[in-house]
Amino acid sequence: MIKDIGALKVKEIKDVVTKEIDHMYVSKDIVNVEKLISILSEDGRSAVKALKVKCDKEITKLQNEIERVKKLYEFDINHNNGLIIAGVDEVGRGPLAGPIVGAAVVLDYSSLKANDLILGINDSKKIKESERERLFDQIIKECVDYKIVGIDNLTIDNNGISWCNNEIFKNAILGLNVKPEKVLCDGYCIKNFNVENEAVIKGDTKSAAIACASIIAKVYRDRMMKEYSEKYPEYDFHNNVGYGTQKHIEALREHGYTDIHRKSFIKNLLNL
């Protein structure tokens, strides 16, 4: 912490501010930054005043994020009725290539203190790739249990994407070691399944467990498609992860389909 602020250059103060803000987000404790704001208030330099404003904004940002994520956990708690609960989600319904991937997550709801929340969780599509990667590791480490499963393009062609979506939910839940007594599903109830489950529309923005499932399923599938990109570089899987971008469609028309393409999805494009 700064002792004699007047003796420091603005750059040195800025370095201290950056370090303390970074630590605040790790510790989820605002005390040190509040103390820093008090010290910064003693300096009349405009650049230092701007750093004080930055600290204030970052404290508010962290507090708002804690409250937002707490609501996601509270949503789950309010729907579990004392039962062991899991959230399940999928990614990959719409791509022209690759599998559909589902994930199920069981979280610990015993404490809603800031340090026990996984901050940043949300609909995976709303999160930057680098942040999804970081959250993937944190979720895997801190959740009670998780399971990631996939269904390949051939099965999608043979059985249809709706059947596969239902099956992926079932397989993810059945693969958990901690058996849930109730499941929150993103968008769809699980059919022909003997575990109580509830569909939550836009569940990855409402439920902590569904949001976590959305993130780990998304990261897992994206990594898989980037590996396929090395085998099939013409199709730009590294960037489109199998979705029907213009570059992907042009590659299909020029080179034809690969063994990971969903023929049922591209038959009109290639007159199959």
Annotated binding site for a divalent metal cation: 89-90, 186
DSSP secondary structure of 213-227: HHHHHHHHHHHHHHH
Contacts 24+ apart (CB under 8 A), 65-70: 65/119, 65/120, 66/28, 66/114, 66/117, 66/119, 69/117, 69/118, 69/119, 69/120, 69/121, 69/208, 70/112, 70/117
Record the tokens describing residue 24, joined without a space: 């605040």
The annotated binding site is made up of 89-90, 186
Using only the alpha carbons of the chain, give its radius of gyration. 23
What element of type H or E holds 206? none
Secondary structure in 3-state letters for 84-119: CEEEEEEECCCCCECCEEEEEEECCCCCCCHHHCCC
Phi, psi of 88 (to 5 degrees): -135, 140
